[in-house]
């Protein structure tokens, strides 16, 4: 469990099964790998022990941290419906626009003509009426 990079989960919106990266930040293994890389680079550049290798080590750490964070951020978005949970927390309207765009693209793509339809959440008639009368977005954010 500790060393498994990916884990299974379901999309919060379309309920399709997917795999995400749990790791948000670098681990001891990444620090060790950066250390090894900086030692190798140190001997490649200066052929001896050199204090400048510390700078190389810090740069390696920064690169791996950025890489792990970008990988996590990209994997969190659902590939099927385009739902982005992090964007939803910050800006539900923007997240909904993104999902709409992705679903429109999916509708136009002939690849998905015979594919299993997505299990999208349905809104009952009274709920959509309440949505239309109440101020925008309030009911949605409360029901989810
Ligand atoms: Zn989804």
pLDDT in tens, 35-74: 999 999 999 999 999 999 999 999 999 999 999 999 999 9
Cα 78 to averaged position of ligand 1 atoms, centre (Å): 5
Cα 9 to averaged position of ligand 1 atoms, centre (Å): 11
Cα 32 to averaged position of ligand 1 atoms, centre (Å): 36
**Could you state, in order of their start, the residue ranges of all structural domains in the chain?**
6-75, 85-143
DSSP codes joined into one string, the chain: -TT--EEEEE-TTT--EEEEE---S--HHHHHHHHHHHHHHHHHHHSS--TTHHHHHHHHHHHHHHHHHHHHHHHTS-TTT---HHHHHH-HHHHHHHHHHHHHHHHH-GGGTTSPPP-PPP--HHHHHHHHHSPTTHHHHHH-
Cα 130 to averaged position of ligand 1 atoms, centre (Å): 25
> What percent of the chain has a predicted confidence (pLDDT) above 90?
59
pLDDT in tens, 112-125: 888 888 888 887 87
Check residue 127 and give its pLDDT.
Answer: 77
């Amino acid at each position: 469990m500790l060393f498994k990079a990916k884990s299974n989960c379901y999309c919060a919106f379309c309920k399709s099964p997917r795999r995400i990266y749990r790791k948000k930040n670098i681990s001891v293994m990444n620090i060790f790998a950066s250390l090894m890389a900086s030692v190798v680079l140190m001997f490649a550049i200066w052929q001896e022990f050199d204090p400048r290798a510390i700078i190389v080590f810090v740069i390696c750490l920064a690169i791996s941290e950025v890489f792990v964070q970008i990988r996590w951020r990209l994997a969190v978005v659902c590939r099927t419906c385009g739902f982005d949970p992090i964007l939803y927390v910050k800006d539900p309207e923007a997240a909904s626009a993104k999902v709409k765009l992705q679903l429109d693209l999916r509708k136009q793509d002939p690849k998905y003509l015979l594919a299993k339809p997505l299990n999208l959440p349905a809104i009952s008639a009274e709920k959509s009426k309440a949505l239309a009368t109440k101020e925008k977005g309030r009911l949605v954010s409360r029901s989810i």
